[in-house]
Structure 1
Amino acid sequence: MYAKGRFLLWRSVNEYRCHCRHDEPCLPILTPCFWQQGNTYSVSSSRHLSSTKNTLLDLAFNKSPEMQSQARRQPIPPDIRFDTRAFLKCRPEYSCISLNTTQRPSPTSLDKSWELLKKVTVLKGALKPSDVSSILWELSSVDPDKTTLVRSDQRFVMLLRYSVENLQLYSLSELLEVLQAFVWLDMPSAHSVLALYESELSRRVDQMTLHQFLFAADLWRCIGKQVPQYLKSVYASVPLYIGQIRTPELVQLLYIMGEGRYCPKELVQPLEQLLMRHLHELQPEEVGTVCLGLFKSQTSLSEGAVMRILDKAHVFVEDMSDFGLVNVMKYLRFSYLYHKEWLDAMGKEVPRRAHRMGIQGLMHMALACSALHYRNDNILTAIAERVPLMVPHCRSKDSCKLLWAYGTLGFLPVKSPSLYPSLTEALRQRKAEFYRYPEHLLTGLLGLAFVSTFPEDLISLALSPEFVKLALKSTQLDLKKDLYTLNGAVELELPHWTGPRLTSNLQEEVADMLWKFAESDICQKQEVVQAELCLKDLLGGEEFVCKRMILPYTRSIDLEVHLDSKGQPIPVTPPCNTTPEKTSSKSENFYNWDKVNIGVKVTDDLVAQLLNTKNKKSSLKVVKPTLLHSVEPDEGDLFNTGLFLTNEVTDMLTKSSVCKENKGPVKLAIQVCNRNHYCYHSDQLLGLHAMKRRHLKLIGYKVVDLNHQEWFPLLRKSRTEKLAYLHCKVFNQ
């Protein structure tokens, strides 16, 4: 039996005709228009400022009696386990390049293990490499429950020491045999002896075949040790074997890259070409593994390649395991892709499968939806119904990312009364974890703030001087902005709050940092520049428009306008901590608006002429406006396109162009929105922007939304058309 086992291993690692049957089907397991740009809604990337989404929040609890009663009535289901290596069952060829962890060597008695260890004390330094590999292989056959006893024996420690004294004398098959024995012996991944084996195998990669170095990489994965030195040597050798890489080798390589969390840039294009060549051969679980490997290694493929992978996944979406579906969604989230057919399929599959999925799978599903700004209530409701039952298995990361996802998508507590209380209670039970991962607590609390929910005990923790000091120590993440946003939300929505707050110095520091970013990025965007210039033009000068952050903790700018009780513009005095004049000058120079007309007054006569033009169904002749100052003719051919009057614009124009009489001045916060402020194909504002609107109203502002569907097309229209649109927006409030 022993000799047979040795021969089979030798045949595997040396690749002597790996005879494989091709009629075995893949066995699925039952477990848990395109756009691609920086994804600031993903929690993993949510601690950085965005230059593409016009000032989005780049981010990252009380238990009710009813929930307590429900918890007593319903038994807690066991945590869901899933096979992360199920793809290896898809093809028998994988046996040549991976270890089947379900087929342990035939067990031997503990007495036999003691006899082998006695042999070590006899031979000692005279042990040959073949002796060491043979003894370790036989010891690995001990019953799994007894491996701890073997590893703790001093004679075993001696054997390990002897095993590394002459590593250069081992054959490749002996080294791989020892490594496989370590898997069965459950060697701790941090054991110092493993580093020496990694060094030796790294040195020998150029002597290995393709199958051998993939097999060794899989053994390291089974041991659980990160081996960057070895993998670097492997990746350097891959180009030499491109012609030998078939479907199983490609999938295994992507799996190894994912587990190693790295893919060299120079391999991305060759791997993409191989993947497209073999895509038609992939089986359901292999597609999931490919997506997981690309996701974990942070490998960006071309848009077309990703779409083809999603097309392939959609073909057999019903046959894919829950684990595979989640992996596809992870890569969709990373690629920031909208694939309509796949997401529509998720709207059917997730409700069908949610009852059997684990908490991590549910979290990744919800997180992917929020990252893609894709709100599908079928998906969200199904997950929301399942999550309270799985809360005992929630890590702090799971709870906080779920809160973030649901808050971002504007899924209000009333839609699922038990979801938010159960996740909030899960945070309380995991408080200790937040001192190691402070970003998780801030992620969860911000998600709750988006839906106006504020657990005061957890907020007290997050804003306490000790926790703030801990959060600011993070070298990998900038948590200042998250703290600032939470602090600002608490200030407005909890007027009775007497708990801890951020220091004024810290608030000023973050506000200044955010304004500097806005000056260099947001204020320079063409849609903002033109809105500001046209409003000054419309209202009569710079003093009537103030470009600033009314609520700096929301990380977006506003064009502030004041109207008196008769609806006439009055000057806006900017706060002392902003310098909109400098910014305005900077914006104008940036886009070279030297020839922009100043002083155009949109009168009722002009509105009447515009409407008359619409009614006659003839092209608009640019009307010379009433002159307030000496002006040049309208813009050149770039914007002289005529007014395209939609039904919405016509409706606005036909309304009264004067404000109704108010008791006092009206403060307008004019928002230049873009599509990334909303859920995809929806009027539902994303969490931060919904919260901002709510807060602006709380402090007495009326929000004027320059909707991207209306304003962006006007950017290439005539100035008169832009002024007519803004006139309706400002004076019809």
Structure 2
Amino acid sequence: MSFKIIHRYYPAKYYLHFRKIIISHDWLLCEIVSSSRRLSSSKNTLLDLAFNRDSERNTVVPLHQQIPVSPDVKVDTRAFLKCRPEYSSVTLDISQRPAPIEWERVVRLLQKVAVLKGSMKPSDVCHLFVELSHTNSDKIPLVKTDQRFVMLLRYSVENLCLFSLPELLHVLRSFVWLELPHSHTVLGMYEVELSRRADKMTLDQLLLAADLWRCIGRKVPQFLKQLYDSVYLYMGQIGLPELVQLFYIMGEGRQCPKVLIQPIEQLLMRHLQQLQPEEVGAVCLGLFKSQTSLSGAAVNRLVDKAHSLVGDMSDFAMVNVLKYLRFSYLSHRAWMEAMTHEVPRRAQGMGVKGLMHVALACSALHYRSDRILVAITERIPSLVPHCRSKDSCKLLWAFGTLGFLPARSPSFYQSLTEALRQRKAEFLRYPEHLLTGLLGLAFVSQFPEDLIELALSPDFVNLALKSTQLELKKDLFTLDGAVALELPQWTGPRLSCELREEVKQMLWKYAQSDMCQKLEVKEAEAALQELLGGEKFVCKRMILPHMRTIDLEVHLDATGQPVPVIPEPPTAVQNSSPKCASKQDLRGMNIGVSVTDDLISKLTNAKNLPGPTIAPPEVQTLSFVNPDEGETMFKTGLKLTSTITEMITTPSSHRAPADSDTIIKLAIQVSSRNHYCHQSQHLLGLHAMKRRQLRLAGYKVVELCYHDWISMLRKSRIEKMAYLHCKLYNSLEA
């Protein structure tokens, strides 16, 4: 009769599915239990051995084992539920477990199942589950393996369509306390039933059901879709508790439909001032996990609210605000300044994950505060045993990105590097973490050769290339290129030539469509070509392809005369007559001069260059620039030397000859704000590494600093040419 009831309410495909599950469920449950008992650590042991073949040779005691181990810090991820009593209708407070009943009572309940059997009504099934959920937690495994409990599960499926909505939710709540595995087959039946009835549920019931699924740990995308579809119907009924719970559910479900973003943003702004500290943290975490982008104004207002409450926030809530700032790439000055006080004050009581996310937020926002970084380095070594490979690698990446050198905290880098060695087996599942950590170390000139050998080994490279969710070719290419330049003695594995060429072409194709098209780069290229005498003297290319950025390459001989970088085609040689004026190497004292078109013509032989004729402007007297103002200062002054003045007035026949075999290679970089830490001249790790490697490759680096060159774009041709002339030839004195 029970099968007939199911057949009446469900299509044939569901009926057959249910019948197979009900008949075979006893065997399935027993198999799950017995299988779990057979599980051992043998697999992990084998993986560990595979990645530690030379561990016998390493007898050094790991650094983190020499330091007293602090206990891991637990955080309450649902602390916001304590802010208001109204949450009790839309959530389950898992900290308030039902009062336990005696074991004798549990036995009697199970006996009742055996007596009633198929005569149980839906209300009886519901009542028995609720009563059994009061079992003492240490006795729950005994209940779940009892055949009478398995029988009760079967009867619940038979009565599924007869449960009232409150009874369905009571049973689902009981499953939370009974710790039913999220993959249990019976839960699939309940998911189908709740999804079928979603359009009959109130907003509170929908939110409560979603929360119960979250407590069970089961992903229910179809049910969540129906919840989101129903939000429009209840938009006028959504109060602050319902809204915060909705953000929480979106975060745990890792999704927010795009059509909901604007309505929930408006609701959030309406309720913003009533939010309590932990609720702000819950909202930020929900937005972060669901990858939901609010408008910039809304994010600013949300973080303004967080800033006003930061002193009362838990560490967890504070970190959640940082996570959302990291996702939004929004640098909120007041909040970040507050972090320079809050993080050092709290760091010794924070756990690994929280500190990792603080560091990661700072690196993503390019915000370097030594107070924050030092506080983290003082805490982390004692917590290394609790670090996942993900935590260790992302900490190394963050500190390397911000250019925090190992000399500042040797124990920090040593302990985390050793932690990577201890967790090599984890990289089989997450190869991206190893590459993240090694690149972070490379930024600060750290190259642990045993880990690099692993990362560039053919087996690991093949594993990394199989990743479908992440593109790891570029990271492998960057690491491989860094090793080639910075470890000249390296005899370990390298990427294949084919793979290097493939990634190089991929990066160059992207560069041509993006970086090469930027106005500031095109203007610099055109001005340099005019200054030096033609296209053949300036090459826009990726000098170091593994660094993923372009440079303008210029070659000069020892006299300062430009040398072609790329041999020009014969037709171009025949048709081109301009010659760049000879330029001596720059010595002597700095003087102030007046710059006119005539002077620029003598410097560049501009009258012979192709292009539109520029009418001579009025004489502009440029102010004197002190030598110590450096290469990055060019406002209204021009840094010229007496040597250049002599060059202008002295015939070329009187100039001293030079060794024509000496070639000076210049890598001219058009930098941007994103190359530096926020509001500082401190280069980020990737760009600092590039400068270092360009010098190793034999180049002098000339930077067209973003705030100087961007302002130059609005100035006259004369001023651009004078600025570039000074940048090039001052670099020869360095």
* Shorter-chain TM-score range: 0.7 to 0.9
Instruction: Give the secondary-structure state (helix, strand or coil) at the position aligned to 2:555.
Output: strand
Partner Cα separation in structure 2 for residue 100 and residue 399 of structure 1: 33
Partner Cα separation in structure 2 for residue 629 and residue 195 of structure 1: 77
Q: How does 1:556-571 map to 2 (within 5 A)?
A: 556-571=549-564
1:587-609 deviation digits (Å, cap 9, x = unpaired): xxxxxxxxxxx9897999xxx9x
- Aligned position for 2:90: 97
Partner Cα separation in structure 1 for residue 619 and residue 693 of structure 2: 39
Partner Cα separation in structure 1 for residue 201 and residue 387 of structure 2: 43
1:618-656 deviation digits (Å, cap 9, x = unpaired): xx889773411454223999xx99899795226652345
Q: Is the 8 A contact 1:641 1:718 kept in 2?
A: no
Instruction: Give the secondary-structure state (helix, strand or coil) at the position aligned to 2:222.
Output: helix
For residues 630 and 195 of structure 1, do their structure 2 counterparts lie closer, same or farther at Cα, with a shift above 3 Å needed?
closer
**Aligned-pair distance for 1:109?**
2.1
Instruction: Give the secondary-structure state (helix, strand or coil) at the position aligned to 2:474.
Output: helix
Q: Give 5+ residue unaligned stretches, structure 2.
A: 1-53, 573-577, 626-632, 648-655
Instruction: Give the secondary-structure state (helix, strand or coil) at the position aligned to 1:508.
Output: helix
Q: Which amino acid aligns with 2:331?
A: Y
- 1:694 and 2:692 correspond: yes
Q: Is the 8 A contact 1:602 1:724 kept in 2?
A: no
Instruction: Give the secondary-structure state (helix, strand or coil) at the position aligned to 1:563.
Output: strand
- Aligned position for 1:55: none
Q: Is the 8 A contact 1:602 1:727 kept in 2?
A: no
Partner Cα separation in structure 1 for residue 141 and residue 165 of structure 2: 27
Percent of pairs with identical residues: 63
Instruction: Give the secondary-structure state (helix, strand or coil) at the position aligned to 1:316.
Output: helix
1:629-688 deviation digits (Å, cap 9, x = unpaired): 454223999xx9989979522665234565997882211011111110111111111111
Instruction: Give the secondary-structure state (helix, strand or coil) at the position aligned to 2:718.
Output: helix
- Aligned position for 2:544: 551
- Aligned position for 1:336: 329
**Aligned-pair distance for 1:72?**
5.9
- Aligned position for 2:367: 374
**Aligned-pair distance for 1:127?**
2.1
For residues 337 and 635 of structure 1, do their structure 2 counterparts lie closer, same or farther at Cα, with a shift above 3 Å needed?
farther
- 1:158 and 2:151 correspond: yes
Moved more, 678-687 or 652-661: 652-661
Q: Which amino acid aligns with 1:197?
A: Y
Instruction: Give the secondary-structure state (helix, strand or coil) at the position aligned to 1:108.
Output: coil
Q: Which amino acid aligns with 2:707?
A: Q
Out of 624, 628, 633, the position equivalent to 2:608 is: 628
**Aligned-pair distance for 1:520?**
1.6
- Aligned position for 2:681: 683
Partner Cα separation in structure 2 for residue 651 and residue 68 of structure 1: 60
- 1:422 and 2:415 correspond: yes
For residues 680 and 286 of structure 1, do their structure 2 counterparts lie closer, same or farther at Cα, with a shift above 3 Å needed?
same
For residues 395 and 703 of structure 1, do their structure 2 counterparts lie closer, same or farther at Cα, with a shift above 3 Å needed?
same
1:61-103 deviation digits (Å, cap 9, x = unpaired): 99xx9x9697566421100001001111111111111112122
Q: How does 1:341-380 map to 2 (within 5 A)?
A: 341-380=334-373
For residues 444 and 159 of structure 1, do their structure 2 counterparts lie closer, same or farther at Cα, with a shift above 3 Å needed?
same
For residues 104 and 632 of structure 1, do their structure 2 counterparts lie closer, same or farther at Cα, with a shift above 3 Å needed?
closer
1:505-544 deviation digits (Å, cap 9, x = unpaired): 1111111111111112111111111111111110011111
- Aligned position for 1:671: 669
- 1:507 and 2:513 correspond: no
Out of 156, 169, 173, the position equivalent to 1:176 is: 169
Q: Give 5+ residue unaligned stretches, structure 1.
A: 1-60, 575-579, 585-597, 615-619
Partner Cα separation in structure 1 for residue 253 and residue 95 of structure 2: 22
Q: How does 1:248-327 map to 2 (within 5 A)?
A: 248-327=241-320
For residues 567 and 98 of structure 1, do their structure 2 counterparts lie closer, same or farther at Cα, with a shift above 3 Å needed?
same
Out of 207, 211, 215, the position equivalent to 2:208 is: 215
Q: Is the 8 A contact 1:669 1:701 kept in 2?
A: yes
- Aligned position for 1:119: 112
For residues 635 and 545 of structure 1, do their structure 2 counterparts lie closer, same or farther at Cα, with a shift above 3 Å needed?
farther
Instruction: Give the secondary-structure state (helix, strand or coil) at the position aligned to 1:732.
Output: helix
For residues 495 and 722 of structure 1, do their structure 2 counterparts lie closer, same or farther at Cα, with a shift above 3 Å needed?
same
Question: Alpha carbon RMSD of aligned pairs, Å?
Answer: 2.9
- 1:84 and 2:77 correspond: yes
- Aligned position for 1:443: 436
Instruction: Give the secondary-structure state (helix, strand or coil) at the position aligned to 1:667.
Output: strand
Instruction: Give the secondary-structure state (helix, strand or coil) at the position aligned to 1:475.
Output: coil
**Aligned-pair distance for 1:360?**
0.2
- 1:133 and 2:131 correspond: no
- Aligned position for 2:717: 719
Instruction: Give the secondary-structure state (helix, strand or coil) at the position aligned to 1:500.
Output: coil
Q: Is the 8 A contact 2:480 2:495 kept in 1?
A: yes
Q: Is the 8 A contact 2:593 2:622 kept in 1?
A: no
Q: Is the 8 A contact 2:561 2:583 kept in 1?
A: no
Q: How does 1:186-265 map to 2 (within 5 A)?
A: 186-265=179-258
For residues 518 and 472 of structure 1, do their structure 2 counterparts lie closer, same or farther at Cα, with a shift above 3 Å needed?
same
Partner Cα separation in structure 1 for residue 620 and residue 168 of structure 2: 77
Partner Cα separation in structure 2 for residue 397 and residue 457 of structure 1: 19
TM-score (norm 1): 0.83
For residues 497 and 108 of structure 1, do their structure 2 counterparts lie closer, same or farther at Cα, with a shift above 3 Å needed?
same
Instruction: Give the secondary-structure state (helix, strand or coil) at the position aligned to 2:668.
Output: strand
TM-score (norm 2): 0.83
Q: In the comparison of the two structures, how many residue pairs are matched?
A: 641
Q: Which amino acid aligns with 1:278?
A: H
**Aligned-pair distance for 1:199?**
1.5
Q: How does 1:421-570 map to 2 (within 5 A)?
A: 421-570=414-563
**Aligned-pair distance for 1:117?**
1.9
Higher relative contact order (CA 8 A, sep 6+): 1
Partner Cα separation in structure 2 for residue 312 and residue 418 of structure 1: 37
Q: Which amino acid aligns with 1:265?
A: K
For residues 265 and 642 of structure 1, do their structure 2 counterparts lie closer, same or farther at Cα, with a shift above 3 Å needed?
farther
Q: Is the 8 A contact 2:325 2:361 kept in 1?
A: yes
Q: Which amino acid aligns with 1:654?
A: L
Q: Which structure's CA Rg is the greater one? A: 2
For residues 93 and 387 of structure 1, do their structure 2 counterparts lie closer, same or farther at Cα, with a shift above 3 Å needed?
same
- 1:399 and 2:392 correspond: yes
Moved more, 515-524 or 339-348: 515-524
Instruction: Give the secondary-structure state (helix, strand or coil) at the position aligned to 1:164.
Output: helix
Partner Cα separation in structure 1 for residue 615 and residue 194 of structure 2: 70
Q: Is the 8 A contact 1:642 1:717 kept in 2?
A: no
1:296-318 deviation digits (Å, cap 9, x = unpaired): 01110000000001111111211
- 1:654 and 2:640 correspond: yes
Q: Which amino acid aligns with 1:715?
A: L
For residues 174 and 340 of structure 1, do their structure 2 counterparts lie closer, same or farther at Cα, with a shift above 3 Å needed?
same
Q: Which amino acid aligns with 2:717?
A: R
- Aligned position for 2:46: none
1:462-512 deviation digits (Å, cap 9, x = unpaired): 000000000000111111111011011111111111111111111111111
